[in-house]
């Protein structure tokens, strides 16, 4: 279990958690973060498309804007599973988006190997 949690455990309310807004799980590192810290990605015709404005139609997957999270998600085959589509998805547009818009200066969200509480 992580030493520091940004959100309240299920069933508990927290002023800080509600102030953060929606919380989503990164498909790469499986850490939970505020939706404002994550990049939404959707599938269009077998291609992953970054949706930084969160306006494109369809089911979205959430990813830290960090190349390591994208590598992990691709290696684990997380995008087809999260987006509920069959087959591999081309992530070239997401890679270009991350290279043009580097936002994650640290990889602190990757510090903990145990992200999910097993209870």
Query: Range with the lowest mean pLDDT among 9-18, 34-43, 58-67?
Result: 9-18
Query: Range with the lowest mean pLDDT among 84-88, 94-98, 106-110?
Result: 106-110
Asked if 36 contacts 63 with a C-beta cutoff of 8 angstroms, the reply is: no
E strand map for the chain: 23-25, 32-34, 39-44, 47-50, 60-63
The CATH architecture one would assign to domain 26-103 is 2-Layer Sandwich (3.30)
10 burial (CB, 10 Å; 0-12 / 13-18 / 19+) is exposed
106: pLDDT strictly greater than 70: no
């Amino acid at each position: 279990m992580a030493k520091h949690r940004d959100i309240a455990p299920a069933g508990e309310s927290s002023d800080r958690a509600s102030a953060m807004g929606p919380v989503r799980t990164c498909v790469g590192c499986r850490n939970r973060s505020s939706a404002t810290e994550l990049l939404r990605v959707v599938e269009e015709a077998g291609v992953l498309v970054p949706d930084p404005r969160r306006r494109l139609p369809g089911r979205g997957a959430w990813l830290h804007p960090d190349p390591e999270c994208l590598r992990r998600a691709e290696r684990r085959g997380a995008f087809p599973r999260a987006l509920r589509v069959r087959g591999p998805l081309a992530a070239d547009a997401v890679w270009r988006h991350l290279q043009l818009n580097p936002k994650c200066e640290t990889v602190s969200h990757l510090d903990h190997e145990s992200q999910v509480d097993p209870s």
